[in-house]
């Protein structure tokens, strides 16, 4: 019985070795076939899962720069439509550059009013340069209409410090009698109303807190004037 079992084990071992060598060429053939199958497809240059990022074409950056320069040139020539193009196609910083170029080509109050009308009619952002130009023009000939317009444009610039300075300037003009057609009640309502045009972030900032204190002081002064009248 022991001899029979030993013989069976030897025969089984021989059979397994023969089977291994019989299958080995077949396996090699399958591997070669698989490799050939893979070679029939274009190989990716990247070994990463999603492939390498597409390279930035050298011309793309150049095209953006060229477009920006073209817009700046048109802005310097007084073409207001570049403001819309810059706002739609570029980031806020480039839009600001274009708007500043438009402001710098303005050489009269009439041209400034035309630019302001275009910007507000198309609901485009107002930057500090445009607001400051509006303030300078207003101070040269302040009246009811220009005061309301200036306060609104300054509020649209969303700069608490600049808005506070405009409030102070309006109060100073009013004290000097240069806003005779604007009553204390109207001026107070104008200050408070345009304040809410500022963004929530600006109103709640440190500069916004200082602005609120300045508005409270201006309100008290105007209310005192209203009682006297």
pLDDT digits (tens, 9 = 90+) for 66-91: 899 999 999 999 999 999 999 999 99
Write down which residue in 84, 101, 125 finishes a domain: 125
Domain identity same for 192 and 215: yes
Domain identity same for 174 and 224: yes
Burial readout 157-168 (b: 16 or more C-beta within 10 A, e: otherwise): bbbbebbbbbbe
Range with lowest mean pLDDT among 14-28, 173-187, 214-228 = 14-28
Query: Rounded distance, CA 187 to CA 153, Å?
Result: 16
Domain identity same for 119 and 144: no
Reported as a pLDDT band with limits 50, 70 and 90, residue 227 is confident
Average pLDDT over residues 102-126: 96
Domain that holds residue 79: 66-125
Write down which residue in 85, 100, 125 finishes a domain: 125
pLDDT of residue 62: 58
Reported as a pLDDT band with limits 50, 70 and 90, residue 143 is very high
Are 138 and 149 in contact by the 8 Å Cβ rule? The answer is: yes
pLDDT of residue 229: 65
More confident position, 18 or 33? 18
Whole-Å CA distances, 167 to 180, 200, 204, 217: 16, 19, 18, 11
Write down which residue in 125, 147, 166 finishes a domain: 125
Domain identity same for 82 and 169: no
123 CB-side CA count, 13 A: 0
Reported as a pLDDT band with limits 50, 70 and 90, residue 186 is very high
What percent of the chain clears pLDDT 90, i.e. is strictly above it? 69
196 CB-side CA count, 13 A: 4
Domain identity same for 112 and 182: no
pLDDT of residue 25: 44
pLDDT of residue 63: 74
Domain identity same for 177 and 91: no
pLDDT of residue 99: 97
Average pLDDT over residues 156-179: 97
Domain identity same for 138 and 229: yes
Domain identity same for 152 and 120: no
Average pLDDT over residues 40-65: 42
Query: Rounded distance, CA 139 to CA 141, Å?
Result: 5
Average pLDDT over residues 110-123: 97
Number of independent structural domains in the chain:
2
pLDDT of residue 42: 36
Domain identity same for 201 and 117: no
pLDDT of residue 73: 95
Domain identity same for 166 and 87: no
pLDDT at residue 20 tops 60 = no
pLDDT at residue 9 tops 70 = no
189 inside domain? yes
29 inside domain? no
What length does the chain have? 229
Domain identity same for 112 and 177: no
pLDDT of residue 65: 84
Domain identity same for 91 and 176: no
């Amino acid at each position: 019985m022991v001899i029979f079992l030993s013989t069976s084990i030897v025969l089984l071992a021989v059979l397994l070795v023969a089977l291994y060598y019989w299958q080995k060429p077949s396996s090699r053939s399958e591997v070669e076939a698989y490799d050939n199958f893979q070679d029939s497809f274009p190989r990716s240059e990247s070994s990463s899962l999603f492939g390498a990022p597409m390279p930035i074409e050298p011309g793309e950056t150049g095209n953006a720069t060229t477009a920006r320069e073209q817009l700046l040139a048109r802005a310097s020539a007084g073409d207001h439509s570049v403001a819309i193009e810059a706002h739609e196609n570029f980031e806020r910083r480039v839009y600001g550059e274009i708007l500043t170029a438009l402001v710098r080509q303005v050489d009269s109050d009439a041209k400034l009013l035309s630019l302001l009308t275009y910007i507000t009619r198309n609901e485009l952002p107002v930057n500090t340069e445009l607001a400051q130009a509006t303030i300078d023009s207003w101070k040269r000939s302040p009246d009811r209409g220009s005061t309301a317009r200036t306060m609104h444009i300054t509020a649209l610039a969303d700069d608490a410090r600049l808005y506070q300075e405009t409030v102070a300037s309006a109060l100073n003009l009013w004290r000097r009698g240069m806003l005779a057609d604007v009553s204390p009640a109207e001026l107070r309502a104008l200050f408070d109303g345009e304040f809410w045009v500022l963004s929530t972030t600006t109103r709640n900032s440190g500069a916004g807190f200082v602005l609120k204190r300045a508005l409270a002081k201006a309100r008290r002064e105007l209310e005192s004037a209203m009682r006297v009248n």
